[in-house]
Amino acid sequence: MKTIKRMMEHMYWADGRILDALEGSKTKDKDLLKLARHVAVAEHVWLSRLQGKGSAQYSLWEDTEDLSAIRKMFEENAEQYRLYIEGLEESELDETVDYANQSGIKFQTSIRDILSQVLLHGQYHRGQINRGLRMESAEPVQVDYITFARPKRG
């Protein structure tokens, strides 16, 4: 559990940093904002599934220009994931969750694998956002785990 909790803390940190980079770049690239929103909604979709709720009502790919709404989603996700994980025992990680994907196809996946998906999915898209920022001549932001894990220099 210690590793999963630490990786989740990295995810919350990286989500915030990528939003700060988007905000600072003042980008008008709707695809980059769409990617950021996608990550936030996907995190929420997986959390809903972990909580035994449906997720069909969520649209994973929508245009947006509202970074503050995306930030609010990320903050709410972080709060809800922290509560969920705090109540989770190591022995429960290999239990399976029954859910339907956004197309209605039914699956069973372990809690461990769902949490791993959430962690890896966001990192993949944060990389895409950073690449887009660089293409706009904006400054990409470091979101690697090692940057998060290193002691802060002051």
pLDDT tens digits for range 37-83: 999 999 999 999 999 998 878 888 888 888 999 999 999 999 999 99
**Average pLDDT across the chain, whole number:** 93
Say whether pLDDT at 28 is over 60.
yes
* Tens digit of each residue's pLDDT (9 = 90 or more) over 31-49: 999 999 999 999 999 999 9
* Residue linked to tokens 């470091």: 142
> Considering the domain boundaries, does residue 72 fall inside one?
yes
Residue 13 lies in a domain: yes
pLDDT score at 154: 57
Angle, helices 111-135/2-25, rounded to nearest 10 degrees: 20
Distance CA 24, CA 46 (A): 29
What pLDDT shows up at residue 153? 60
Averaged over 142-148, what is the pLDDT? Answer: 95
Residues spanned by the domain of 139: 2-149
Q: Determine, yes or no, domain membership for 19.
A: yes
Amino acid at the residue 19: L
The residue ranking higher by pLDDT, 59 or 100, is 100
Structural domains in the chain (count): 1
Rounded average pLDDT over 142-152: 92
Query: What CATH number does the domain containing 96 carry?
Result: 1.20.120.450
Q: Decide if 154 is inside a domain.
A: no
Inside any domain, residue 75 = yes
To the question of pTM greater than 0.85 for the whole model, the response is yes
For residues 128 and 136, give the distance between their C-alpha atoms in angstroms, rounded to a whole number. Answer: 13
